[in-house]
Amino acid sequence: DADVTQTPRNRITKTGKRIMLECSQTKGHDRMYWYRQDPGLGLQLIYYSFDVKDINKGEISDGYSVSRQAQAKFSLSLESAIPNQTALYFCATSDSRAYNEQFFGPGTRLTVL
Amino acid sequence: GENVEQHPSTLSVQEGDSAVIKCTYSDSASNYFPWYKQELGKGPQLIIDIRSNVGEKKDQRIAVTLNKTAKHFSLHITETQPEDSAVYFCAASWGYQKVTFGTGTKLQVIP
């Protein structure tokens, strides 16, 4: 089984709908991240969590919210989806005891119509 | 905050030739510089990293160089092969803090 899993892998939704993307990890890492990838813009950090009680905004948090339900689970919500949130979303994990090597999930392709 | 610039955005090379990707960073406190490779349909994966107390690091056909004075670092791939075709990201961070990524380079190796 993959160490970092994301569900769903693909999602098409309509403007105004609430969407939740889920991430689970079996690596035992304490840190988790949500990134957005757009062509030519690289990986932009949306939110990150250094432990269950710690949630921090990244570069592009507007329009998004997160929940760290457990050390192994970190979900990303779009409260009211809009077309410019169409992108590829990645969850990642890292271990605070090691330098910042990040382990990425396979990604969720989200399309907002 | 940290800002990482990456060039070129696309790169095409003939199989067997070398490829070089360059990055610059803004925060002189950054001391960890990883490189990630993203294959089609997958998440990025770490391929090599370098820390600020080292000027160069090599792993088989891949090498990374770091110039802290100029605040730039580069990825060198020698004897390129078709399986090297992917998107490559550079990144920078300070200590155990969050990582800032570059905008990516799409490398195409032409057989």
Q: Which residue has the tokens 């432990």?
A: A51
The pLDDT assigned to A5 comes to 97
First to last CA, chain A: 33
Which residues of chain B lie closer than 8 angstroms to A107, CB-CB? 41-43
Q: What CA–CA distance (Å, rounded) separates A55 from A24?
A: 16
Compute the half-sphere exposure of residue B39: CA atoms within 13 Å on the CB side of its CA: 7
pLDDT one-digit tens code per residue, B25-59: 999 999 999 999 999 999 999 999 998 888 999 99
**B110: distance to nearest CA of chain A, Å?**
22
Structural contact between residues B20 and B40, judged by C-beta atoms closer than 8 angstroms = no
Residues A15-25 as b or e (16 or more Cβ within 10 Å = b): eeeebebbbbb
Query: pLDDT-derived band of residue B18, with 50, 70 and 90 as boundaries?
Result: very high
Question: Which two three-digit tokens encode residue B7?
Answer: 């060039």
Which residues of chain A lie closer than 8 angstroms to B96, CB-CB? 96, 99-100
pLDDT along chain A (113 residues), means of 10: 90 97 96 92 92 94 96 97 97 87 95 97
Q: Please answer yes or no on whether B43 and A96 come within 8 Å at the CB atom.
A: no
Question: Which two three-digit tokens encode residue A37?
Answer: 């990838």
3-state helix, strand, coil in chain A (%, to 5): 5, 60, 40
pLDDT one-digit tens code per residue, B62-102: 999 999 999 999 999 999 999 999 999 999 998 767 789 99
The pLDDT assigned to A1 comes to 54
Please name which of A51, A71, A53, A63 lies closest in space to residue A110, comparing C-alpha atoms.
A63
Structure-model confidence comparison of residues A98 and B3, the more confident one: B3
> CB-CB: which of A4, A35, A100 is closest to B93?
A100
Structural contact between residues A95 and A102, judged by C-beta atoms closer than 8 angstroms = no
Question: Which two three-digit tokens encode residue B39?
Answer: 């294959």
Q: Which residue has the tokens 């813009």?
A: A41
The pLDDT assigned to A7 comes to 97
**Which of B24, B37, B98 is the best residue to mutate to test the A interface, defined by the most A CB atoms within 10 Å of its own CB?**
B98
Cα separations (Å) of A68 from A48, A49, A87, A98, B23?
Answer: 10, 8, 22, 21, 33
**A106: distance to nearest CA of chain B, Å?**
5
Question: Which two three-digit tokens encode residue B59?
Answer: 């792993």
The pLDDT assigned to B1 comes to 81
